[in-house]
Amino acid sequence: MGYRVLAEVTMAVHFLFIVFVVFGGFLAWRWPKAIWSHLAAAAWGLCIVLFDLNCPLTYVEDWARQRTGESGLSHGFIDTYLTGVIYPERFLDEVRLLIAAVVAVSYAGAVHRARTRFRRG
């Protein structure tokens, strides 16, 4: 039972991490120091996409699922839980571009707000 809980918690943390990668830049609008953790998360997400890296959270979930007797993940987290489930696989490139646009808008807004704060003193 412990491995099943670990697998489920890891899956939830992984999902939250992806939500943070997509929308976390908007936190910097309110809390400017949040940009540093978001830059690290976004860079990691970009490296995973560009270099086809495996996320450590995927390894943990896969390992825990195998310990419960399941077959584990046949692909990565995104391929298993998002692509083909949340959006059709044929739109993967468009979804990636949309995510990049959301991150860019969040950063542009954060820069704008930081400049406004700086001008006010």
**pLDDT one-digit tens code per residue, 51-88:** 988 899 999 999 999 999 998 888 889 999 999 999 99
Q: Across all residues in the chain, what is the average pLDDT?
A: 94
Residue 97's pLDDT is what?
96
Q: Quick check: 112 and 32 in contact, CB under 8 A?
A: no
Q: How many of the other CB atoms lie within 10 Å of CB of 73?
A: 19
DSSP state, residue 55: P
State the pTM of this model. 0.90
pLDDT over 90 (residue 108): yes
Who wins on pLDDT, 71 or 22? 22
